A and B are shown apart, each in its own frame.
Chain A
Amino acid sequence: MNWEIVIGLEIHAQLSTQSKLFSGAPVSFGAEANTQTTLVDLGMPGALPVFNKEALRMAVMFGHAVNADIGMTSVFARKNYFYPDLPKGYQTSQMDDPIVGIGHLDVTLEDGTTKRVGITRAHLEEDAGKSLHEDFHGMSGIDLNRSSTPLLEIVSEPDIRSAKEAVAYVKMIHSIVTYLGICDGNMAEGSMRCDVNISLRPKGQEEFGTRTEIKNVNSFRFIEKAIHTEVERQADILEDGGKITQETRLYDPDKDETRSMRSKEDANDYRYFPCPDLLPVVLTQEYVDEIKASLPELPTQKAARFISEYKLSEYDAGVLSSSRPMADYFEKVNKSAGDTKLSANWVMGELSKLLNQNQLDINDSPVDANNLGLLLARIKDNTINGKTAKDILADMWNGEGSADEIIEKKGLKQVTDTGAIEAMIQEIIVANPAQVEQFRAAEADKQKKMMGFFMGQIMKASQGKANPGIVTPILMKLLKG
């Protein structure tokens, strides 16, 4: 049977606030257990929540970024269930009246086509704590540092039709929230977590099949793998004439399989009702408009600008705009280098290579954008050649100073004096009569290849400082005699 895959995603993005959604406790990853908690986060008797202004602003920003209706009156509701990492016995979330309503996102796929994915809603909610499963005499430990951390849950329509589309969509959301500066996007630390809803239906059928929800898939790669695995599992069942059970499943990356999480099925009557400790959040049009006006340039807008303003290829523009720090870095390099193509190539090439090798984020690059730009400016004005520039970049990476300082210190200034170059070439011709003989006897197309030998000799003699652009025509002229 030919199956159509139907996917909807729920993405939890942790908002980059200083303090928690409902308390003045700090929000930071990796602190010692239960040291970032107040009586509100611990659900102590008599504790009351007060709503964080910044979380609201961030949610509205996101709403604008996905072309959504903003909930002018949104209401917090309690989702009631018992779990040790949920201190109050309910999660404060939003149900009927979320802060962000219906919207959509145009996702660029690998083949360059665009896919529109509907956004059902995005709502604010508090995170739960963590259960630590290492053994404490047969018991589990509860750390509530994460309790009440602000989350924006972004729910998509079931518009996605493949694992690749799903990944492209999640990447797009990832770049939007990081562009907006509302989430650090760190999936390894759980700042962004995905629940994937998957169902299959025979191609051409309108009705949806029964879906399963795969919880907490926490990397782009795992999203793709988990979808493949789950699709295969469902297809096997359906083709054997079986039925899919609607349930929550967990993806195990080690075994590359999904398995049922029965414990979560137990209490699915959440008894939602409006939280009586919080009041309706009512926005003014002025507030909403003000946020819209202050929205930064978003990834698709930036890519379009890179193409029109810098004449970059679609591919280069896409790569360079994929993250805001990368885009910002590129634009700064370009500004001091004064050469767009050179800047794009170096940021995507040499710099990215060094960052990858050292597992560094572009924000933590030891060479800042301005200095890289100044290095490239020296290529552009022929002070150095590309090969020397790579060596200089390595020195700059190691903290040996700016490009100009290193050029000066090591005497790397390119030789551009044609007289000096001509003298150098003459010497080499004299020293290698056999090769010259061969060259002169060869066909024109072979001569081109044989140039390499002489070029190597010249670079060796000039310690790499000879400008290839100047060397080539002179060499050709002298060789031909």
Chain B
Amino acid sequence: MSLDKQDVQKIAHLARLALTEEDASQYQSSLSSVLELVEQMQSVDTDGIEPLSNPLEMTQRLRADEVTEENRREAFLANAPSTEAGLFLVPKVID
């Protein structure tokens, strides 16, 4: 499996990563070599085998429906690059 530059730019856009032309060619080769490595999987027959997403195969525990947290807005806002009136500010959101 090898990718062209356009594929790389498309993936980068989905992942929200700005790539220069030079980056894109670099990633084109490094991503392709990873995908080549990953291609080995296709040689194995996995028909009828259930995917395993959690190694212990435990089940979800439930939390009581209780309010356990206090308002700590100022502490959380302290790490934000831009805030005003208790809000996180971002470049204009257009719907």
Contact = CB atoms under 8 A, between A and B. Distances in A.
The answer to whether A binds B is yes
Interface of A: 17-19, 23-26, 32-39, 42, 44, 50-56, 76, 82, 84-85, 131-133, 136, 138-144, 250, 261, 263-264, 267, 269, 271, 274, 276, 278-282
Given A24-B67, A141-B85, A142-B87, 4 more contacts: A51-B60, A52-B62, A52-B65, A139-B92
Interface residues of B, number: 34
Nearest to A139: B89
B77 A282 contact: no
B14 A26 contact: no
Contacts of B47: none
Contacts of A56: 62
Contacts of A54: 65
Nearest to A273: B53
A280 B60 contact: yes
B9 to A, nearest CB: 14
A35 B82 contact: no
Nearest to A55: B65
Nearest to B71: A35
Contacts of A36: 71
Contacts of B58: 279
Contacts of B69: 23-26, 38
10 contacts: A24-B68, A24-B69, A26-B67, A39-B76, A82-B16, A138-B91, A139-B90, A143-B87, A269-B14, A279-B59
A34 B66 contact: no
Contacts of B87: 33-34, 132, 136, 141-143
Contact of A276 (B54, B67, B94): B54
B76 A37 contact: yes
Contacts of A271: 14
| Those 5 A-B pairs whose CB atoms lie nearest each other, nearest first | A24-B68, A141-B87, A54-B65, A53-B62, A142-B88
Interface string B43-85: 0000000000110001111111111110111001100001011
A140 B89 contact: yes
B80 to A, nearest CB: 9
B22 interface: no
Contacts of A34: 73, 76-77, 86-88
B86 A42 contact: no
A250 B65 CA distance: 35
B41 to A, nearest CB: 16
B88 to A, nearest CB: 4
B15 to A, nearest CB: 9
A223 to B, nearest CB: 20
Contacts of B14: 267, 269, 271
B93 interface: yes
B13 to A, nearest CB: 8
B92 A138 contact: yes
